[in-house]
Amino acid sequence: MFYDKWKRALDFFEEMQERGAKPSVTTYNLLISMVAGAEGGYAWETARGLFDEMKQRGLKPNTATFNALIGALGKAGGGSKWETALELFDQMEEMAVEPDTATYCLVMKTLRKAEGGSEWERALGHFDGMKDRRMSFSTSVYDEMIGAMGSAKGGSKWEIAMGLFDELKENGLEPTTRTYNALISAMEKIEGGSRWDIALELFEEMRERGVERNVASYSSLISTLEKAPGGREWRRALRLFDDMKREGVEPDTITYNALISVMEKAEGGSQWEIALLLLEEMKEKGLAPDTTTYNSLISVMEKAEGGSQWEVALGLFEEMKERGVEPDTITFNSLFSTMEKAKGDSHWRTALGLFDQMKGKGVERGTLTYNALGRMFGVMENGGEWEATLAFFDQMKEQDVDPSRGTYSVQMKKGEGGSKWRIAMRLFHEMKERGLEPDRITFSALILAMEKAGGGSEWERPLELIEEMRSKGLLPRDGKHELE
C-alpha cells in the first residue's frame, strides 16, 4: 500500500513539473520522506536521486531534507548504508546546515545497523559529538546507543550500555519499553555467555516502574536464560513463558524459537519432549514455524539425554519440507551431527542421501558439513566402504573446503589393514603440505594403519613415526608409549 503511495507521488511530481510548476524544498522533503518509507527499504537510491536533483536545481537542502534521506539509508534493503549516511552528515557541515537531535539519532541508527555491529565505536563518537554541541538528548537517542552497544562486534558492550542507561535516568528521562528491551538484549549478547541475572533485575524494574513488558521483552529475557551456564535456568524460562501467557502477552515465533533453544541446552541433556510440545502449541496458535524453529528442534534431538533422537530429527526435516520451509546449511549440519551421535553405525548411507539433497538444493557446504560426515564414517565399526569415504573426502577438497586435522585423522584411521596404509601415508603428507600440524591422534591413526599392513611388512615405519612424535613433544623421550 505504501509502495503504491510513493509511486503515485512520484508520478504526480513528474506531472506537476510538466505543467510548469516549480518544486520547492518543502516539496522535495515531502517526496523524499515518502520514498524513504517504502517497504523493504529498496527505494533509498530513488531518494538519493531526488536529493541530488534538488541541488542541481539550486535548491538548498535543509535539516529536514538530510534527516529524511539519512532515515532512508538506515532502512536500506540489504543492510544499512552507514558510509553514505556519514558522507551526508559531513555535507551538512560543508553546507552550513545545522544537525538536530533527530539527525544524530538517525545517524546512530545507521551505525547500529552496520554489518556485524562493526561501527559501535563510531556511534559513541557521534554521541560524544552531541554532548560537545550541548544538544538536548531524548530517550530515543539513548535507545539507539544502547542498541548499538548490544549489537557491537565481538560481543555486547553491556557495561557501556548500563552506563548509558544510568545516564538517561540521571538526565531526568524516562526509560521506555524499547529502552529496557535493548538493554535486556545487550545482556544476552555478551561474548561467552549472558548476564541473565541483570536481565532479570531489569525485567523486574520494568514492572516496578509500570513500563509495559511486551512480547519482545519476554523473548529477549528467555534468550538470556538460554545462555546461563550449564543450561541450568531452563525451568525458570518455562515459568517465565507461563507468566507471559497469564499476563495476556501472546508469544510469537521468536518467543517459541528462543524457548526451544533453551530446551536444547538444558542441564543434563535436552528436554526434547517439551520442545516437541512447544512446536505443537505453536501450530495450534496458527504460528508458522520457520527455518530457525526446525534447526533448533533438530539440535534438540541431537542432544537428547540417553542418545540422539535421530529418527525424530529426520521426521522434523520431512515436515519442514512439506511446509515449504527451506532447509539451510545449519539444518543439514545439525542433521549430520544428530546422526553421528546415534547408536550404531548404520546411518551413514542415510547421511549421504541427505548430503545429495543438500547438493541438489544448492545449499552451501563448508568444513563443518564435511567434518560431521567424516566423523560419522569414523565411528563405523568395520573398515568397509572406505572407498566411498575417500571419494567423499576428495569431493570436499574439490569444493575448495579445507579439511581439518580431525578429518584427516578419521580417514587415516579407516586405512587399517592390507595396503591401505599407503593411502593413509599419502594423506599424512598432504595434511602437512596444507599447513596442518599432525597431533597425537593423527600419528596414532597412521601408526596403527602401518602396524596392520599386510604381512607386517612395514614394521620399521611406525618406529620412525614414534621418533617423530617424540621430537615434536607428543611422546616422552623415554618410557612407554600408548596409541589411541
Q: Is residue 229 part of a domain?
A: yes
371/440 same-domain check: no
- At 17 the pLDDT is 75
pTM of this structure: 0.80
Q: Is residue 314 part of a domain?
A: yes
Query: Cα–Cα distance between 228 and 230 in angstroms, integer?
Result: 6
Query: Cα–Cα distance between 89 and 93 in angstroms, integer?
Result: 7
Q: Is residue 318 part of a domain?
A: yes
368/438 same-domain check: no
84/184 same-domain check: no
329/432 same-domain check: no
Q: Is residue 218 part of a domain?
A: yes
User: 3-class SS at 453?
Assistant: strand
24/68 same-domain check: yes
249/297 same-domain check: no
**Minimal CA–CA distance to 82: which of 164, 2, 148?**
148
Q: Hey, what amino acid is at 82?
A: W
Contact in structure between 390 and 423 (CB atoms under 8 Å): yes
- Could you give the angle at the alpha carbon of 379 between the alpha carbons of 376 and 382, nearest 5°? 120
- At 450 the pLDDT is 75
Confidence of residue 416 (pLDDT cuts 50, 70, 90): low
Q: State which of 78, 98, 118 marks the end of a domain.
A: 98
Q: Is residue 393 part of a domain?
A: no
Per-residue burial over 244-262, b = 16 or more CB atoms within 10 Å of its CB, e = otherwise: beeeebebebbbbbbbbbb
Query: Cα–Cα distance between 333 and 393 in angstroms, integer?
Result: 16
Contact in structure between 315 and 323 (CB atoms under 8 Å): no
- String of DSSP letters for 351-415: HHHHHHHHHHTT----HHHHHHHHHHHHT-SSSTTHHHHHHHHHHHHHTTPPPPHHHHHHHHHTT
Q: Is residue 284 part of a domain?
A: no
User: 3-class SS at 262?
Assistant: helix
- At 156 the pLDDT is 94
252/156 same-domain check: yes
- At 317 the pLDDT is 97
Contact in structure between 206 and 166 (CB atoms under 8 Å): no
> What are 251-306's pLDDT values in tens digits?
999 999 999 999 999 999 999 999 999 999 999 999 999 999 999 999 999 999 88
Query: Cα–Cα distance between 283 and 203 in angstroms, integer?
Result: 28
153/253 same-domain check: yes
Q: Is residue 117 part of a domain?
A: no
326/229 same-domain check: no
Per-residue burial over 229-240, b = 16 or more CB atoms within 10 Å of its CB, e = otherwise: eebebbebbbeb
User: 3-class SS at 42?
Assistant: coil
- The residue segments making up the domain with residue 368 are 289-378
Residue 416: phi and psi, rounded to 5, are: -80, 135
Query: How many distinct structural domains can be found in the chain?
Result: 4
- At 40 the pLDDT is 61
475 against 428, higher pLDDT? 428
- At 464 the pLDDT is 78
Q: Is residue 200 part of a domain?
A: yes
**Minimal CA–CA distance to 211: which of 242, 182, 251?**
182
User: 3-class SS at 304?
Assistant: strand
Q: Which residue has the cell 516496578?
A: 208
158/259 same-domain check: yes
Measure CA 130 to chain center: 32
84/186 same-domain check: no
6 against 2, higher pLDDT? 6
> What are 204-248's pLDDT values in tens digits?
999 999 999 999 999 999 999 999 999 999 999 999 999 999 999
Q: State which of 212, 244, 278 marks the end of a domain.
A: 278
**Minimal CA–CA distance to 331: which of 372, 299, 373?**
299
According to DSSP, the residues that pair with 304 across neighbouring strands are 270
